[in-house]
Structure 1
Amino acid sequence: MTDPNLPPRNDDLLSQAGEEIKGMAKEGMHHPSTKPVLAGAAVGALAAGLLPVVTWPIGLVAGAGFMLYKRLRP
């Protein structure tokens, strides 16, 4: 959710994603987005294991990307 006390961010999605990924890399598991993105990656990899066409690395990236997007655009 967005915090009403913070000013709205007007920059584009790619720059926000870059900042978020840098923050996750710098802070590790202490960053608030790390755990949801890792959970999304795990779910995506498991779901891809059930599908005959999609391999697990594609599912992992898709799950992590979806959760990162949901963190940036709630």
Structure 2
Amino acid sequence: MNTLDKIKIGSTARVDKIIGDSPTKRRIMDMGITKNTEVFVRKVAPLGDPIQISLRGYELTIRKEDAKNIRVEEI
């Protein structure tokens, strides 16, 4: 299993699990990232932070630190 920060640009992945403490999990889930959600990595900033993803019909920019807490399976 990879984490979201290691997925290449243009790839799609399915969320397997959100790891971390309770407030971190809640913040990530409030953004719409939940188990079995498909995410498409659109862009990564030149220095690697933040990461722009598409999910559930909208664009989301997420910090690399948060992306490290999202385990995904590439599809």
* Same structural fold, with TM-score higher than 0.5 when normalized by the shorter chain: no
Q: TM-score, normalised by structure 1?
A: 0.24
**Structure of higher CA gyration radius:** 1
Higher strand share: 2
